[in-house]
Amino acid sequence: MNTTRAAIRQVGLPNIYFQNFTFAIHWSGKRTGCLMMSFLSIYAIQMIHGLVYGMMLFMVAAGLTLVLGMMNVLNLAHGAFYMLGAYIALSFAKVEYGFWFALLLGPIIVGLLGMLIEKTLLRRAHHLGHYHELLMTFGLFYILIEVTRWIWGSTPQPVSEPPILSGSIELFAGEIYPLYRLFVLAVAVVILAWMVVTMNRTRIGIHIRAAVLDAEMVNLLGINVPRLFLLVFTAGAALAGLAGVIAAPFLAAYPSMGIDILMDCIIVIVIGGFGSVWGALVAALMLGLLQSFGILWIPQYTMVLMFGLLAIVLIVKPTGLFGVRE
Strand, helix or coil at 156?
coil
Least Cα distance to 83 among 256, 236, 212 occurs for: 256
Neighbours of 56 (CB within 10 A): 28
State the Cα–Cα distance between residues 157 and 253, nearest whole angstrom: 5
124 contacts another protein (rule: CB under 8 A): yes
Q: Which is nearer to another protein, 238 or 266 (CB)?
A: 266
304 contacts another protein (rule: CB under 8 A): yes
97 contacts another protein (rule: CB under 8 A): no
User: In whole angstroms, how close is the CB of 197 to another protein at the nearest point?
Assistant: 29
User: Which residues fall within 8 angstroms of residue 126, CB to CB, at 6 or more apart?
Assistant: 71, 73, 133
Q: Which of 13, 62, 74, 228 binds another protein (CB under 8 A)?
A: 74
Residue type, position 12, single letter: G
213 contacts another protein (rule: CB under 8 A): no
State the Cα–Cα distance between residues 122 and 178, nearest whole angstrom: 41
216 contacts another protein (rule: CB under 8 A): no
Q: Which is nearer to another protein, 113 or 136 (CB)?
A: 136
326 contacts another protein (rule: CB under 8 A): yes
Each residue 8-37 as x (binds another protein by CB under 8 A) or -, in order, gives: -x----------------------------
Buried (b) or exposed (e) across 279-306, using 16+ Cβ within 10 A?
Answer: bbbbbbbbbbbbbbbbbbeeeeebeebb
136 contacts another protein (rule: CB under 8 A): yes
Strand, helix or coil at 319?
coil
User: In whole angstroms, how close is the CB of 53 to another protein at the nearest point?
Assistant: 18
Which region, judged by CB under 8 A, interacts with another protein, from 186-194, 202-210, 230-238, 266-274? Answer: 266-274
Residue type, position 158, single letter: P
**CB of 321 within 8 A of CB of 279?**
yes
Residue 168 pairs with which residues in a beta bridge? 178
User: In whole angstroms, how close is the CB of 303 to another protein at the nearest point?
Assistant: 4
307 contacts another protein (rule: CB under 8 A): yes
Which region, judged by CB under 8 A, interacts with another protein, from 59-67, 192-200, 240-248, 262-270? Answer: 262-270
Strand, helix or coil at 73?
coil
Q: Which of 164, 193, 263, 312 binds another protein (CB under 8 A)?
A: 263
Q: Which is nearer to another protein, 83 or 242 (CB)?
A: 83
Q: Which is nearer to another protein, 164 or 213 (CB)?
A: 213
Least Cα distance to 232 among 57, 78, 91 occurs for: 78
Q: Total residues contacting another protein (rule CB under 8 A)?
A: 50
Which region, judged by CB under 8 A, interacts with another protein, from 53-61, 158-166, 172-180, 260-268? Answer: 260-268
116 contacts another protein (rule: CB under 8 A): no
State the Cα–Cα distance between residues 22 and 1, nearest whole angstrom: 31
Alpha helices in the chain (DSSP H): 2-11, 16-30, 35-71, 78-92, 98-117, 123-125, 130-152, 179-201, 203-213, 215-220, 225-251, 257-272, 277-297, 302-316
72 contacts another protein (rule: CB under 8 A): yes
Q: Which of 96, 150, 216, 222 binds another protein (CB under 8 A)?
A: 150
Residues at the interface with another protein (CB under 8 A): 1-2, 4-6, 9, 68, 72, 74, 121, 124-125, 128, 130-136, 138-143, 145-147, 149-150, 259, 263, 266-267, 269-270, 274, 300-301, 303-304, 307, 310-311, 314-315, 318-319, 326
